[in-house]
Amino acid sequence: RFNGSRAVLSGPAGGVVGYAVTTYGQETELPVIGFDMGGTSTDVSRYAGSYEHVFESTTAGVTIQAPQLDVNTVAAGGGSMLFFRSGMFVVGPESAGAHPGPVCYRKGGPLTVTDANLQLGRLLPDYFPKIFGPGENEPLDKQATNNSFKELTNQINNFLINQPEGSGKRESMSLEEVAIGFIHVANEAMCRPIRALTQYRLGGRPRKLMADSKRAGP
């Protein structure tokens, strides 16, 4: 009989099964690290010839006790919101979700990791379908993202300018420096579970494969 708890992390688990079948080689026995970045979170897993199970996991402070594949989840994804708090760049765990979504979705959403990538030119609006805005018929709004980053950059620079002498005061930051700063914070959050599955668990074994375990990926 089906029990809802049995479906915990069933999506990422499907990704683990997928790359285990398509990527792992019995001849080399090279461990495979699965990486699944979504809108609200990033899932990292490992396959080295057998499926690893756990009976408890904690994500963003929430503990789940149920049998599940060992998938490490961090609250950092494309929709993770960007904040400047007490002099620090903070990414998530709050997410903009699909509605309203990032600023560039034209629905009044907050700045997110997606906006940071758009600001840096890593996302090209011309290559995205015109499905944004209230009528879902407009392109990504790079200008809105740029305007929001200007406001946030002004807030950050005002904080830096008003720091007392001898406190590590630094020069003003550009929009691009602010955007890449948030990307670095998000990347570090995603790297932690990868390190836990490689350097710590495998003793720094030098050779591993990296696989995109996105369930709905191309």
pLDDT digits (tens, 9 = 90+) for 127-149: 999 999 999 999 999 999 999 99
In the chain, % of residues over pLDDT 70: 86
Cα–Cα distances in angstroms (integers) from residue 141 to residues 38, 132, 179, in the given order: 21, 9, 16
Question: Which runs of E-coded beta strand occur in the chain?
Answer: 32-37, 42-47, 53-59, 62-69, 71-74, 80-85, 88-95, 209-212
Alpha helices in the chain (DSSP H): 10-22, 113-119, 142-161, 175-195
* Structure-token match 């963003």, residue found: 60
In the chain, the N- to C-terminal Cα span, in Å, equals: 33
Query: In this structure, are residues 91 and 77 in contact, taking their beta carbons and an 8 Å threshold?
Result: no
Q: Give the separation between CA 163 and CA 150, rounded to whole angstroms.
A: 20
pLDDT band at 17 (very low <50, low <70, confident <90, very high): confident
Contact criterion met (CB below 8 Å) for 71 and 43:
yes
Q: Which DSSP state fits 112?
A: B
Give yes or no for residue 7 having a pLDDT over 80: no
The CA distance from 49 to 31, in Å, is 8
Cβ atoms of residues 43 and 197 within 8 Å: no
The mean of the pLDDT values for the chain is 82
Mean pLDDT of 77-86: 90
Cα 204 to Cα 197: distance, rounded to the nearest angstrom:
9
- Spatial separation of the C-alpha atoms in residues 217 and 211, rounded to whole Å: 11
- 176 CB-near residues (< 8 Å, 6+ apart): 119, 120
**Residue 2 and residue 37 in contact, taking contact as beta carbons nearer than 8 Å:** no
**Four-CA torsion 100, 105, 107, 113, nearest 10 degrees:** 50
Name which of 37-46, 150-159, 183-192 the model is least confident about. Answer: 37-46
Peptide bond into 93 cis (omega under 30): yes
